A = this chain, B = another copy of it.
Amino acid sequence: MLGRINHIAIVVPDIAAASKAYRETLGATVSQPQTLPEHGVTVVFVELPNTKVELLEPLGEASPIAAFLAKNPDGGMHHICYEVADILAARDKLVASGARVLGNGEPKIGAHGKPVLFLHPKDFFGTLIELEQV
Q: Known interface pairs A4-B49, A80-B8. Does A126 touch B24 (Cβ–Cβ under 8 Å)?
A: no
Cα distance A6–B8 in the bound complex, in angstroms: 13
Contacts A/B (CB < 8 Å), 20 sampled: A2-B28, A4-B48, A4-B49, A5-B51, A8-B8, A8-B80, A14-B125, A26-B82, A26-B94, A26-B124, A27-B93, A50-B50, A51-B51, A74-B126, A75-B126, A75-B127, A77-B77, A77-B80, A77-B126, A77-B127
Give every chain B residue within 8 A of A122 (Cβ-Cβ): 74
Q: Known interface pairs A25-B94, A74-B121. Does A48 touch B3 (Cβ–Cβ under 8 Å)?
A: yes
Which residues 7-58 of A sit at the B interface, judged by CB distance below 8 A?
8, 10-14, 17-18, 21-22, 24-28, 46, 48-51, 53, 55
Q: Is the beta-carbon distance between B74 and A53 smaller than 8 angstroms?
A: no
| Copies of this chain present | 2
Cα distance A18–B99 in the bound complex, in angstroms: 13
Cα distance A133–B72 in the bound complex, in angstroms: 30
The 10 A-B pairs with the shortest beta carbon distances in the complex, nearest first, are A1-B27, A75-B125, A76-B126, A74-B126, A75-B126, A77-B77, A12-B125, A25-B97, A4-B50, A2-B28
A92 sits at the interface (CB 8 A): no
A123 sits at the interface (CB 8 A): yes
Q: Known interface pairs A75-B125, A124-B21, A126-B72. Does A49 touch B3 (Cβ–Cβ under 8 Å)?
A: yes
